[in-house]
Amino acid sequence: MLRKPLYPPTSRYWQRTLRAVKAQALLVGTFALLTSGAAFAGPCTGAGATPNTQTKCVTAIAITGSPLVSFDISWVNPDRAEYYLGDRSNAGIDIIDTKNLKFLRTIGGFKGVVLKPAPAVNLVDSNHSGPDGVVSHGRWLYAGDGDSSLKVIDLDAPTATAIKQTIFTGGTTRVDEMDLTTDGGVLLAANNAEDPPFGTLFKANFDNNTSAVSILSKITVDSKIMPTGLGLSIEQPVWDPTTKRFYVSVPQINVPAGCTPFAAVPPQIPCAGGLLIIDPTTVSKPTAVIGVYDSGTNTGVLALNQCGPNGAAVGPHDNLLLGCTPANLAGSTSTLVINAKTKHFLNLGGITGSDEVWFNPGDNRYYTGSSANPASLGGPALGVISGETNLLIETILQGSGSHSVAADARRNRIFVPQVVPKCTTGVCPPGSAGADTTGVSAQICGTTNGCVAVYEHDVDDDHDHGDHDHGDHDHGDHDR
């Protein structure tokens, strides 16, 4: 496929990008001065909270309960002014008020942190921990757990009785990332750690007052594309209301044939990443097997260029931003933008290593949880990308565990959870040996307990951190 640029850059955004590069050079110098033993005067200090970025750290919200050692995906419903985090350390979904910026409650009942057996040293077994993926529509929140179950939560119910259904998908590992159709009626969730991995299509609750979620079909990928026994995966789905398709990031596929998964050195041939495209109206019951991409139906698995993706988000002009990462494709240095209709694409340089990615229609920007951004590009970062020009605006240093991000489109607030510092001596909290190694998260939080950092982009540049209402964006209900 020939690379065709989506949009020519404008001088205004090129100037922003140049300024961001210069700012990043200054940040790296500041980052080198941080130590894990530094004293903390309060939140939003250090290299992750410099004043010369457009996206500014405004506060850090502490989570009631155990320190944040492990979390997964997050979500915002701006209509309810609520942020949801899959918090494994507290075995539940944390809820934060995005208008008043305060912690509300944790809805428990999940597996929590599961540790890897010896000889692993106190590391989290993500494949069996939970909660993991999370998505919401209206009063209904859906979350995956480490026992291959989907939990359905009524946000209008008291905490003790909020879980209304637990539905098992038939695997032995976690139900991970997921997304919903615009009307909240169909949900696609990925069992990413199964071998082979599979997706489950559910009939969801729409705006109903009672929960009646049920499984519609199990979706797998043709074994020629994703052979068993290689540890391949499927990751974040996203619903595109224009093409009426689910687009699912696939870290690696068997393309070219005979490639070596996770290849790092020649003569090994690295495997390409893929994009799994699903039309929910045509998958058969009770199982469906998806093959190679068919341009006539706009379904199937499409091989990608220079990208092994984890995250996915729908932005303007029916573009998809995919969170590429070196963990899936060694040497990755870019993020991929691909059009859902034409499949024209561009490789955006300067940021990679993303897990969750998010599009915020309130300020027309993508935000990336680039926790695996390599040192050559500045290290772990919150990436900020223009939705119009697809140019990198700025990167903001983050702790090494900051892989999750979600934004409130009404208030242009961006939420980035931070883990505790890495623990190497003394009595360590379970799982903390794999936590932040940079010192940045503790500086942002103002404590060593972890937190949810809150950034804000004031599009009017009036420095008013109140309730910037930018219209009825329904981002929390469907597309990222």
Q: What is the mean pLDDT of the chain?
A: 88
214 CA to centre of own chain? 25
HSE of 255 in the Cβ direction (CA atoms, 13 Å)? 21
CB 168 within 8 A of CB 152: no
* The amino acid at 99: K
Integer CA distances (angstroms), 249 to 72, 112, 287, 428, in order: 16, 25, 20, 35
What is the rounded distance in angstroms from the CA atom of residue 407 to the CA atom of residue 416?
9
Q: What is the mean pLDDT of residues 162-170?
A: 98
- pLDDT band at 461; cut points 50, 70, 90: low
With the C-alpha atoms ordered 337, 342, 343, 346, is the resulting torsion angle positive or negative? negative
1-10, 176-185, 426-435, 441-450: segment of lowest average pLDDT: 1-10
What does the pLDDT read at residue 398? 98
Place of tokens 């935000």: 367
d(CA 413, CA 48): 16
pLDDT at 21: 38
Give me the mean pLDDT over the 315-328 stretch.
96
* DSSP code per residue over 60-78: EEPPSSS--S-EEEEEEET
Quick: pLDDT tens for 424-433: 776 788 888 8
pLDDT, residue 13, reads: 39
Amino acid (one-letter) located at 355: D
Please tell me the predicted confidence (pLDDT) of residue 5: 42
Other CB atoms within a 10 A radius of the CB of residue 12 amount to: 11
For the chain, give percent helix, strand, coil, nearest 5: 10, 35, 55
> Quick one: pLDDT at residue 94?
99
Query: Residue 308 in contact with residue 325, Cβ under 8 Å?
Result: yes
Least confident interval from 196-200, 203-207, 258-262: 258-262
Cβ atoms 384, 396 nearer than 8 A: yes
423, 432 contact by CB (below 8 A): yes
Least confident of 120-124, 143-147, 212-216, 438-442: 120-124
- Assess contact for 315 and 366: CB atoms under 8 A: yes
Neighbours of 10 (CB within 10 A): 13
23-76 residue pLDDT tens? 443 333 333 333 334 455 589 999 999 999 999 999 999 999 999 999 999 999
Residue 117 has pLDDT above 90, yes or no: no
State the pLDDT at residue 469.
Answer: 41
Check whether 14 has a pLDDT greater than 60: no
Write the CA distances from 307 to 303, 361, 427, 465, integer angstroms: 9, 25, 40, 37
pTM of the model: 0.89
pLDDT at residue 22 is higher than 60: no
Query: Which pLDDT score is estimated for 9?
Result: 40
Q: Which two tokens stand for residue 422?
A: 């890495």
SS3 (DSSP) at 22: helix
- The DSSP bridge pattern shows strands 287-290 and 214-221 to be parallel
Q: Can you give the pLDDT at residue 257?
A: 85
Digit-coded pLDDT (tens) for 291-306: 999 999 999 999 999 9
DSSP 356: S
Please state, in angstroms and as integers, the Cα–Cα distance from residue 224 to each residue in 190, 230, 257, 328, 438, following that order. Answer: 19, 12, 9, 19, 41
Residue 440 has φ and ψ, to the nearest 5°, of: -70, -40
List helix spans (H) across 318-427. none
**What integer pLDDT is reported at residue 460 of this predicted model?**
82
pLDDT value of position 41 = 58
Q: Say how far residue 19 (Cα) sits from the centre of its chain.
A: 27
pLDDT value at 470 more than 70:
no
pLDDT at 318: 97
pLDDT tens-digit readout, 387-438? 999 999 999 999 999 999 999 999 999 999 999 999 877 678 888 888 999 9
Q: Which domains does the chain have, with CATH numbers?
A: 11-255+270-477 (2.130.10.10)
Q: Which pLDDT score, from 0 to 100, does residue 15 have? A: 45
Who's near 452: CB < 8 A, 6+ residues apart? 60, 61, 63, 83, 85, 94, 96, 415, 416, 417, 418
Do the beta carbons of residue 202 and residue 182 sit within 8 Å? no
The per-residue pLDDT for 40 is 58
Say if residue 266 is preceded by a cis peptide, omega within 30 of 0: no
Counting residues of the chain whose pLDDT is more than 90, the rounded percentage is 78
pLDDT for the residue numbered 122: 74
Residue 264's pLDDT is 66
